[in-house]
Structures are given as C-alpha cells and as structure tokens.
Amino acid sequence: MALIVQKFGGTSVKDRGRIFNVARIVMNTRNAGNDVVVVVSAQGDTTDDLIAKAAEITSDPSHREMDMLLATGEQISIALLTMALQELGVSAISLTGWQAGFSTDRSYSKARIKRLDTERVESELARNRVVVVAGFQGLNRSDDITTLGRGGSDTSAVALAAALHADRCQIYTDVEGVYTADPRKIPKATKLKEITFDEMLELASLGAQVLNNRSVELAKKYNVELEVISSINPVPGTIVKEEANVEGMLIKGVAKDNDVAVISIKNVPDVPGMSFKVFSLLAQKNINVDIILQSSGNEAGTKDLSFTVPLGDAEGAASALKAAASRFGGGEISVDKHSAKVSIVGAGMQSHSGVASTMFEALFNQNINIKMISTSEIKISVIIDEQEADKAVAAIHDAFIN
C-alpha cells in the first residue's frame, strides 16, 4: 500500500462534470489500495472573479485582505470535491491550508512554507479517509491567512508529499506530460517518459509552463518523485526525478520564451567595476537579469554591454540606467523588445561534444541570425529575432529529436 499525493488544478475542477472526473481518478487510486491525499486549486475562473470583486472596491487592495479573499477559492473546491467523493461512496474529508498544517512566512500573496505539521492529515489517513487539502494557502505566525503565489498549489502538493514521505506526487494537468517541444506548434514533439529535476527546472524557466519552478525545486530538495499526468486521458505521464534514464535522447526539449527584452549599453568605459555598477543598480530594483553579453574592450577604451530582462522590466531597467547614465560614461542605452530566447535542455549534453554546433547549424540552415548565446551544463540558449523563433524551434527539434 502506497501513499500518493494527487494535485488537480483549477480547470480540472471547474464544473460538476470535471469534479466527478477528479473524484473518480481519486477513487480508482484509492481502490487500487493506496492512501490518497488530494491537493486542489480554486475552480476555473473563481480566482479571477474574486480579483474582479476586489478591483471594484479598490485599485490597491492590501495583500493581507487579498489573501483572505482569494483563499476562499480553494476552500470552495475542497468542499465540493469532498462531497463528490462521498457521493461516490469514498470516505473523505476536506482541510483548509491551515487545517492541513501549512505554516508560512509573513509575505502575503507570495508566502513561503516554513513548516508543515502533518498531524491532522495523518490522523485522517489513519481513519481511512481520503484527505482533500486546499492548495495555495497557509497561515502565518499571527494566525493570518496567506497565499503562496503563482503555482502555489503545486508547491503545496510537493511539500505534503515530502513531509508525508509519499511514494509519488502526481500533478494532474490538461496536457499528457512533458514534451520535447510545444506539441501545438511542433507536431513531431514527443512525450518524455522521464526527465530530471534539473532539466525540468530549465524547461520551466524557459516558458514550458507545465510545472511551477518552486515546486520542482522543492521536489528536488526532498527527492519527491513527480509525475506530470493528464486528468482527461488515463495514460502514463512524465516522471520527474533525480536521475532520468532515456536511451539515446541527447536533449529533452526545445523551448521558446518570448518574454525577453534585450537592453544594450554602448561605449561603456572599459575599466574595472563597470559591470558591477550596472547590475547592482538592477538588483536594487529587483530586476532579474538573465543572459549577459559583454564585448571585448576596443581601441577607444570602451566596450558594449547587453543583457536580457523580462519584458515587463524593460522600461524600468532602461529608465534606471538612464537616470544613472553618467556612472556608465553616458553611453547610449537601447531596448529591443522583439527578441525571443530559444533553448535546448538535456542533462546528457555536457558529456557529448557537438551539441552546440548541431544547434547553430540548424539555425544557419534557416538563415537565422544569433544575437546572443548563453550556455550552462544542461542548457544552451540563443537570443534571436522573435519572428524567427517558431521556425528556429522546429529546425532545432528536427535536428536533435527526429
């Protein structure tokens, strides 16, 4: 008898039919002889509806009151799903985040789990009940309700699986697993049987938004085996674990990210400390810089500095730099919002030569110009014109996977 944590997102419980679909998945898992803890998000559009209600009242709601408001969404879901399980004859009980023992820090709207006291969950499991837990929420030290922010329910599920030493944590979604590329755009994209935590982290950060990064980090930290699986089609999904063994697959995926702006500063004095000045300024503004490209110094004693930031941070970064332009020698600052990042990910690439050249050759064959390059042990990213990104993904996918 295994203990399985199953997480279902908002679309999986959006109406009566989907709720019973989830209830039957849980019932089947239970009837196969497993203990089951279910983590569930707010129904379909509930969170948006609640945000709209708040927006009618104020354009600037306090984060504490927003969390108080939004936490009702999951509370509605757990009650309805538990009723559906009971209607199917499955013994079940719902628990809010705080009832399930989630203690968080004080950061309303993006709280982090500090402690998870599973006493109540374990006592309900011992009574042979399916335990239905509200994802996304917890309680801080002042006994105030907090929410975990984007993808919080995935994090709740992984944290429960870790604390309960569950045998597996299944993340049910609308897709059948993790693919080598976006299957809506690359018809030849294939589903991966297995993928490592690190590869999954790289893919997630590249815009393949199957799993929330915090949840994957947590799963890696506590070595919780994840399965990304469809709540519609009952076929095996993708296992995410420490060591993945997929014969002959050099790379696991090709991903595209359009949320990229390239900021360039020309003619920065080629003296020590310049990069530090630029990037400490951006860090103060809480702007995350991804790829950095620095040219070699030229004869005029200057160099060019380029880096990428998320699109939403582009104007903030540019204006911060312009306000402090004198510190960088007054060089011209430009913002390019029409780039995309295309990346390949694969833990095997570090031990295989020629991966980068195969990728660059595929782009060259399509006459696609590479603006920037970044590499890590399991990833190679290029910045190219966003209009060529889809063509680039297809070409690279062809070169490696088929």
Nearer to its own copies, 34 or 43 (CB): 43
How many Cβ atoms are within 10 Å of 160's Cβ, its own excluded? 28
Nearer to its own copies, 144 or 217 (CB): 144
Long-range interactions of 353-362: CB distance < 8 A, separation 24+: 355/250, 355/251, 355/380, 356/380, 358/399, 358/400, 359/396, 359/399, 359/400, 361/399, 362/392, 362/395, 362/396, 362/398, 362/399
Number of residues that make up the chain:
402
Q: Is 285 annotated as a binding residue?
A: no
CB of 115 to its own copies, least distance (A): 17
Q: Is 179 annotated as a binding residue?
A: yes
User: Which range of residues in 28-36, 74-82, 158-166, 236-244 is near its own copies by CB under 8 A?
Assistant: 74-82
Q: Is 5 within 8 Å of 170 (Cβ atoms)?
A: yes
Report which residue type is found at 263.
Answer: I
Residues 138-167 that bind its own copies (CB under 8 A): 143-145
How many Cβ atoms are within 10 Å of 62's Cβ, its own excluded? 12
Q: Is 54 in the site for its own copies (CB under 8 A)?
A: yes
Q: Is 302 annotated as a binding residue?
A: no
Q: Is 65 in the site for its own copies (CB under 8 A)?
A: yes
Q: How many residues bind its own copies (CB under 8 A)?
A: 36
Interface with its own copies (CB under 8 A), residue from 3, 51, 68, 281: 68
Residue 313: name the closest of 260, 363, 366 by CA: 260
Helix, strand, coil percentages (3-state) for the chain, rounded to 5, are: 40, 25, 35
Q: Is 29 within 8 Å of 4 (Cβ atoms)?
A: yes
Q: Is 247 in the site for its own copies (CB under 8 A)?
A: no
Q: Is 347 within 8 Å of 196 (Cβ atoms)?
A: yes
Interface with its own copies (CB under 8 A), residue from 25, 26, 39, 71: 71
x-or-dash string of contact with its own copies, 11-30, rule CB under 8 A: -----x--xx----------
Mode of pairing for the β-strands spanning 130-134 and 92-95: parallel
x-or-dash string of contact with its own copies, 75-114, rule CB under 8 A: xx-xxx-xxx-xx-----xx-x--x---------------
Q: Is 348 annotated as a binding residue?
A: no
Q: Is 356 within 8 Å of 375 (Cβ atoms)?
A: yes
The residues of the shown chain that bind its own copies, judged by CB under 8 A, are: 16, 19-20, 50, 53-54, 56-58, 61-62, 64-66, 68-69, 71-72, 75-76, 78-80, 82-84, 86-87, 93-94, 96, 99, 120, 143-145
Query: What residues form the annotated binding site for ATP?
Result: 7-10, 173-174, 179, 184
